[in-house]
Structures are given as structure tokens and as C-alpha cells.
Structure 1
Amino acid sequence: MKRQNKFFLLAFLLLFSFSFAQDSLKISASEFMNVVKNYHPLALKYQLQNRLAEAEITRARGNFDPVVAGKLGEKNIDGTKYYEQKNLELGIPTWYGIDLHGSYNYLDGQKLNNSDTKGGLYQFGITVPLAKNLLYDQRRAMLDQARFGLRMTEAEQAVLTNELLLEAENTYWDWVQNYEIYKLKSEIVEINKDRLDFTKKTFEYGEKPAIDTIEALSQLQSFELQQRDAFLSFVKSTQQLQLYLWKDNQQLYELSEMIYPSDRLEEHLAYSDFEFLINEVDSRPINSHFSILYYDQKQNILESERRLKWQSFLPKLDFTYNFFNKENYSPDFLPLFDNNFQYGLKLEIPVFQRAARANYQMAKIKLNQNQIDTNLKIRELDVKIETYKNEILNYHAQIDLSRNNLQNYRRLLSAEEMRYSNGESSLFLINSRENKVIEAQEKFISIRTKFLKSFNKLKWMKENFTL
């Protein structure tokens, strides 16, 4: 893999050296972000995570599915039929912990128990929890928690997706910055090549000393070194950008030709939209942020668990009633406890309740811990938003200062060139002024990039708020 990366870098350098002036593939920020949204493996993984949470709901609902069961058997020894049995059952669990069940049982044989009933027997019954599991039980808790879990997962995946998109977009603008710095260095190299040629001619005509040609050559070589370093930075950032370029079937997009940005730092809408963005974020309640919704849904899950643990303090008191009717007999339903019935009452009471007390205490502690985490997250988001807002305002002010500073350095360079043409200055002073201009231009580009990256941080923070 390292050898492949080195080969790619070498091929990329050669390709760019020979084809920079030719038409190449351009990509805008919007096109790049669309690729990331639709094809990046992490974005697709987050979508699949939501589908897993939806499947959890379906699985929890399965606890309420009716169950059909059947049984067929016979025992025969030495010609004696002990029993022959045919059984079909249907169980229907309900939301309130009540279970309905019905069955048909056919039994015949010579060695049956005294409590068994020969022939066909229909049975209809109900089981009702009278204390524990009446108001809340494991089945309802699992379904509630699956529903809360889906909303929790959706909130988490929204935050993770937006973090991925923020990282991708800022990588794009770092790439643009390196490209513009490389273009700047290339333009300066061409200017200094022309200056060197001009200086050589003036020396040949006896108008300038030989030392000026050395001064011009040294300046050119210095900028050529800077140009190569800037180009290497641009190539590295292109490789970083490629990490976000994917195709269908999670295949990495291999660059077969040179690409460079079609957007420029100075053309971004953020310079006019940043105040609107700040006001929009300020108008959003912090509790509607997906990170807080994540903890809210987790709180609901823990509250469901607490309700379930509280049920353990109640005695388990279940009442079961079954109505029987023999095959080919007319049914006689009423009175319920007169004929053809069976009922049962089962009571269980833990003596010391130690497991119940421990489980309930643990559930309450988890609720308190999650509330603490929620408060910390709210504070963290508040600090982040204020930090991003301050960065935007500060960098926007720095852009104006940097622009004015660059204009002043350009005026000084122009004045120095005028003095040099009049014989009142030297090439050394021009080079010094030119170096200051280059430094100011690089600073100007860097501040623009910082402003856009801070703008993006707040913009993607806004995307984490629910509408």
C-alpha cells in the first residue's frame, strides 16, 4: 500500500507538471459534498444503523405475536394403547399483560390418568396478572425501549453524519487554500523570471551592476523552492480529498486525471450570510439539538427500565381461568364457576426483596448519571456555539484588516519599483517589499480559510437542530 501511495504521488506530480495548463477535471464544493453524502461508506453505515434500530422494534413487537402450537403422540406397549393424543393450541398475548389461550385436545387410551378427559375437549382460557406485570411488564418495556432506541439512534446518526460532512467540507476548503497558495507562488515565479531577464538585459546595457543579477536570481530561486513546497502541499491535500471520493458498491474513486477546485475562497456566500446564520442558531433552543435528544431518549429507556424494576417489589399474583367443553356437547358457559371450568391462583412473594431493591437502586442511579451527562452536553454545546460565533466574527474582522494590510504592502512595492526605475532604490529593497506582499497574501488566504471553516462548524451545528 505504501509503494502504491508513493507511485501515485510520483505519477500525480508528473501529470500535474505537464498538464497544469491544459483542461483538467474541476470539482465544486457542492458536487464534492453530494458525493460524500451519497457514496461515502460511513454515511451509508449510519443509514444502516437506523435500519437496525427499526428491526429492533419489529423484534420487540414479536413478543405480542399469537403463537400456534400442535402436538401429536401415542404410546403402545405389547398391544396395549396407553394413550393417543392430538392437541392444537393458540396463545394470544395482549398489551396489558393478559394472555388469552384456546386449544382443542383429543385423548384416548387404556392407561390414562384419572384427571385426564377422554375424547375431544375444547378449552378457552385467560391469565391475568393481578399485581406484578399488570401495569408494566417485560414485553411492553422491550417495545417501548425499542421505540425510544430508534429515535435515539436516529439522533446519534444525524450527529455523526453531520460531523462527517463537516470534516469533508473543511477538507475541501483546505484543498482550495493549498491550490490558491500554489497559484500565488507560480505567479510570483513567473514575475521573477521576467525580472531576472530584464535585470540581465540592463546589466548587458551597462545600466545596472552585476550584483543585481545575482539578487534577482536568488529571489527567483527562493520562490521556486516555495513553489515546489506549495505544490507538494497541494498534492497531499488532494490525496486527503480523495479519501472522501467513493463510487457505487463502496469502491474508492481512483483519480485518472488531474483535479482542481472550481470554487474560490473569495466567492463563498459565507461572507454575506454569516450574520443570518448566527441569528438562526441563536433562535434554536438548545434542547432541540440532536445530541440532547439522544440523551432524552436514553432517559426514556432508563425510565422504562426503572418502571420495570419497580414491578419486582409487587407480589406475583396470577389468576388463570379455563372453560372446557367436550366435543359434540352443547356449550354451557354460565355460571362460570358452576361446571366445565378450571381456575388457579398463584402467589409468589420474595421475602427479603434484596434483588428488587438493588435493581431498582441501580436503575435510579443510571437515571441520575444520564441527567448529569445531559447537563454536561448542554454546557458543551453552549460553549461550542459561542466559540464558533466568536471565531466567525473575529476572522471576519481580520479579513478586512488583512485586506487593507495587503493593499498597503502593494502600494509600498509599487512605490519602490517606481523609485528603482528612477535610480533611487535597489533590487534588494524591491525584493524585501515583494516578500512582505507575498507574506500578506498568504496570510489573507489563511484567514479566509479559517473564517470559512468556522462558518462551516456553526453551519453543521445548525443542521443538528430539529426543525
Structure 2
Amino acid sequence: MIKLLSMRKQSKLLFILIFLFFQYHKAQDSLMISANEFLAVVKNYHPMALKYQLQNKIAQSEITKARGNFDPILGGKLGEKNIDGVQYYRQKNIELGIPTWYGIDLTAGYQYLDGEKLNSSETKGGIYSMGITVPLAKNLLYDKRRAALDQAKFASKMTEAEQTVLTNELLLEAENTYWEWVQSFEIYKLQNKAVEVSKKRLQLTRKTFEYGERAAIDTVEAASQLQSFELQQKEAYLNFVKNTQQLQLFLWKENREIYEISQLFYPADHLSDHTAYSDFEFLLQEIKTKETTNHWSVQYYTQKHHILESERKLKWQSFLPKFDFTYNFFNKENYQSDYLPLFDNNFQYGLKLEIPVFQREAKASYQMAKIKIEQNKLDTEFKKRELTTKIETYKNELLNYHTQIALSQNNLMNYQQLLTAEETKYANGESSLFLINSRENKMIEAQEKFISIKAKFLKSFNKLKWMNENFSL
């Protein structure tokens, strides 16, 4: 309880800090949020993350419920029968039943009985009793009570594995959404810069035309380039707004209300600042040492196997005859106890035997339990293979995109050099504005490609990182 309150206080403090962070930047006429702050909000306030946490609490409650099968039971009875002034009987009973782990039931009680019309087998007065019931065949080694508790424990671990995977998938989706948002913002900034450069070039071209140094067609060429960039700028802005709306779906407040943003906000991180560029080799080495058996999604099937195995053990008990032994020791009030020998005086015992003749229900139930275990084994093997394939795919993506980043960067530098050279030739009257625009378009395409490849690299890194987070210790 103390830990839970501490976690709640930390969550409230975290939200307050993020809120103040937003308000500070709002005072600067812009809102900004980093990837770590964004993920902290998702983890602590997103409805699905909270739902997964609640599911784990339900699983823990199932364990408590199963333990209830071993709770002592205290019972009492008070009754009387009287007809035509004749008191047939008057009784007071109190009994305590104690179930134990090994299928043995202990009982203790007190009974007072009096009346004029009692059965000959009943004893007048007060009598104390202590008893024990022992299964000698069926339910001796395993029974429904033990199976229910075992299965509840395995189900709790199964739920933990499932909710861990689901939570990490949510965080992966959120983080990749953040970097897609950053990508769209950086492309938008690129288009803004292109528009500004194009505006200056148009102004310069018009002045040189007025001085008679350039042809009139050059102003048309410059204006056409500006209009093309402005269209791309509008498209980039629209894409940024759309990605901002997608990001906003992950932002929630403590009271489970979506965080409404009244104005655009911007990423505090840049694609080039991510630690993935230096950490990806360590991640590759770390995940190389992991066994798929320890992955939470495989642990889910492992715990399911334990549940099915528990069910199989329980079904096996159905083949055994039900053979129960019950013994009760009695002691009347105001009499000296005489415990030994057990079968000499003041006792009651019974043997009960039940044997199914054809065992058809037991055979069918046991066979189905075995088949379910085989099905789960197939699911486990398929999941392991699926994980191995995903890991290899993400590793290949990561390495490939890392190589592409270097190639794209070199390609971008070449286009920049070509543009610079073309501008120099144009200044010397050896080129045309058409060729400059062509070079510039190629360079901007290369810049967008460079941004896109960096974003793809980060998303592949995140896939592998969250895959690694899904491995249990």
C-alpha cells in the first residue's frame, strides 16, 4: 500500500513537471516536448497502459480467490421441534472445518441435543468431536483446490507476460509516432528554408532584370521555382499538422482526459541527436546473447503450459477410485477423555468407495487435456520462430539503414557542391537559372531522403530496442 501511494505521488509529480514545462514554453510562444517526456506521459496516463496495469491486479486477486478454498469454515445451527406440547428435540451445533493442502479435511465441533423423540442413534447432552477425512486414492496427490491455486499463480505470471508485451508494444508505437512527427517537422523546416532562399533569389533576379543584366524569362523561372516550393511547404505543413494530431492521441492527463492542445507544439529533440547512432552496435551485441525462451511472449506460453499440465494432473485423478476414510472422536461433557486406543471407545469411522465402471468421461477429459498441451507446444515453437525472424529482420533493417545514412549523406554533399558550382557559373554568366533550379531541386530531394532514412533508422532501432525490453531477466 505504501509502495502504491509512493508511485501515485511520483506520477503526480511527473505530470506537474511536464505541465510546468509546457507552460514555460507556452510563455515563449511555443510548446515543446522531448521523447522521454512524451513516453513518460504515455506510460503513466494512457488508458491502455492503465488498463494493462489493472489486468495484473485482477490476476493477483484471482490468486487470493483461489486461496479462499483453503479458508477454515465456521458454522453453527440452532433448532427446536415442538408439537402438542411435546418437545421432539432441541439442538445447538457449532462446527469448524479446516481444509488442508494435501486434500485432508479436519473438523472440530460441539453438539448439544435434548428432547423426547430422538433417534436411537443420537446422543443426548453435550458432546465434543474432532474428526479427519483422508482421501486414500482420488484427490490424495492432487485435487481441485490445489489445482485452482496453482493455476491462479501461473495465470498471474501469464497475465504479467502478456501485459508487459502489450505495454511495450504501446510504447513502441508511441515512440515511433514521436519520431515520425519529428521527421515531418524537419521536412517542414527544410521547405521553409527553401521558400526563403527562393524568395531572395526572385528579388535578386528582378533587380538584375531591372538593371538590364538578366532576361525577363529569368524572373519567370525564379517565380515558378518559388511557387513550386510554396506548394511543397503547404504540403509539408499539412503533414506536420496531421502527425501532431496523431501524437496528441497518446497525450492524456491524470484524470484520463485527453490533453487538448490549443496551438501547435514542437519536438524538443532532433533526428540527428538520437543516441541510436552510437548505441545500436551495443544493442545488436546485447540482443545476440538473449534466448527466445526468456522473451515475455514465450513466457506467456510457458505459463500456459503449466496451467494445462495442472489440468492434466487433475484429470488423471478421475481414473482413480474415490476412496475416503473418515474418523471422528467424541467426548461427552463432564466425562474424562479417553483418546486411545482410537477404535476402542467414543469414536465413529467410515469408508466410502466410488468406482466409475466405464471411465469414458475420465478418458475423454484426459485425452483433451493432453491434446491442449500439444497445441500449446506448437504455439510455443511458432512464437519462438516468429521472434527469431523478427529479430533478424530488425537487425538487417538497422544495419542497412545505417549504411544508407552514410551513402545518403555523401550524396547530399555532392548535390550541395554541384549547386554551389552551378551558382558560381551562373554568377560568371556561364549557366542559367533553370540549371540552378534543377540542381536545387535535386539537393532538396536528397535532403528529404536523408531525413527519411534517419527516421527509418530510428524506427528500426526502436523496434529492436523494445524487442530487447521484452526479454525477462
- Structure 2 residue aligned with 1:231: 237
* Equivalent in the alignment of 1:103: 109
Structure 2 residue 39 is matched with structure 1 residue 33? yes
Secondary structure of residue in 2 paired with 1:82: strand
Equivalent runs, 1:401-412 vs 2, <5 Å: 401-412=407-418
Q: Residues 97-128 of structure 1: CA distance to partner in whole angstroms, max 9, x if unpaired?
A: 00000110111111111111111011110000
After superposition, where does 1:86-165 map in structure 2 within 5 Å?
A: 86-165=92-171
1:279 aligns with 2:295: no
Moved over 4 A (4+): 19-22
Structure 2 length-normalised TM: 0.94
Q: Which residue of 2 aligns with 1:395?
A: 401
- Choose the corresponding residue for 1:216, options 211, 215, 222: 222
Aligned counterparts of 2:336 and 2:205: Cα–Cα separation in 1: 122
Task: Look up the SS of the partner of 2:255 in the other structure.
Answer: helix
Deviations 1:129-165 (A, max 9, x none): 0000000000000000011111111111110100000
Distance 2:107 2:28 in 1: 80
Counterpart in 1 of 2:8?
none
How far apart, CA to CA, are the structure 1 residues paired with 2:407 and 2:429?
33
Aligned with residue 372 of structure 1, among 366, 372, 378: 378
The CA distance in 2 between the partners of 1:251 and 1:56, in whole Å, is 30
TM-score by length of 1: 0.95
Q: Distance in 2 between matches of 1:133 and 1:22?
A: 73
Is 1:167 aligned to residue 179 of structure 2?
A: no
The match for 2:323 among 312, 317, 324 is 317
Provide the rounded CA distance (Å) in 1 between the counterparts of 2:61 and 2:416: 65
Q: Which amino acid aligns with 1:202?
A: T
Superposed CA deviations along residues 250-299 of structure 1, whole A, max 9, x for unmatched, are 11111133310010001111001100000000011111111111111000
Q: Are 1:355 and 2:349 an aligned pair?
A: no
Q: Distance in 1 between matches of 2:29 and 2:411?
A: 35
**Partner of residue 330, structure 1:** 336
Aligned to 1:6: none
- The DSSP-based 3-state class of the residue aligned with 1:88 is strand
CA distance in 1, matches of 2:398, 2:206: 48
One-letter amino acid of the structure 1 residue matched with residue 240 of structure 2: F
Cα distance 1:22–1:326, how it changes in 2: closer, same or farther (>3 A)?
closer
Aligned to 2:54: 48
One-letter amino acid of the counterpart of residue 130, structure 2: F
Trace 1:416-431 onto structure 2 (pairs within 5 A): 416-431=422-437
For residues 18-59 of structure 1, what are the alpha-carbon distances to aligned partners after superposition, in whole Å with 9 as ceiling and x for unaligned?
x99963111000111111111111111111111100000000
Q: Tell me the residue number matched to 2:21.
A: none
Amino acid aligned to 2:126: G
Relative to structure 1, the CA distance from residue 443 to residue 55 in structure 2 (aligned partners, 3 Å threshold; closer, same or farther) is: same
| Offset of residue 319 of structure 1 | 0.3
Structure 2: how far apart are the matches of 1:360 and 1:336? 40
In structure 2, distance between residues paired with 1:450 and 1:106: 82
Query: Deviation string for 1:235-256 (max 9, x for gaps)?
Result: 0100000011011121111113
Distance 1:296 1:460 in 2: 21
- Cα distance in structure 1, aligned partners of 2:28 and 2:214: 38
- 1:284 is paired with a residue of what secondary structure? coil
Report the equivalent of 2:15.
Answer: none
Aligned to 1:344: 350
Cα 1:414–1:439 shift into 2, 3 Å: same
Partner AA of 1:427 in structure 2: L
* Shift in Å, 1:78: 1.4
Q: 1: distance between equivalents of 2:139 and 2:87?
A: 43
For structure 1, which segment, 254-263 or 188-197, has the greater mean C-alpha deviation from structure 2 after superposition? 254-263
How many Å separate the matches in 2 of 1:432 and 1:351? Answer: 91
Match of 1:245 in 2: 251
How many angstroms apart in 2 are the aligned matches of 1:215 and 1:76? 116
Hey, what does 1:259 align to over in structure 2?
265
Q: Is the aligned partner of 1:297 residue 2:275?
A: no
How much identity, in percent, do the aligned residues show? 73
Are positions 1:24 and 2:24 aligned together?
Answer: no
AA aligned to 2:426 is Y
1:446 aligns with 452
SS in 1 for 2:118: coil
- Name the CA distance, whole Å, in 2 between partners of 1:233 and 1:83: 88
Verify: 1:435 aligned to 2:441, yes or no.
yes
Give 1:257's aligned amino acid: Q
Does 163-172 or 34-43 show the bigger shift? 34-43
Kindly provide the amino acid, as one letter, of the partner of residue 107 in structure 2: H
Aligned residue in 2 for 1:81: 87
Q: Amino acid of the residue matched to residue 50 of structure 1?
A: N
Report the Cα distance in structure 2 between the residues aligned to 1:299 and 1:231, rounded to whole angstroms.
52
SS in 2 for 1:135: coil
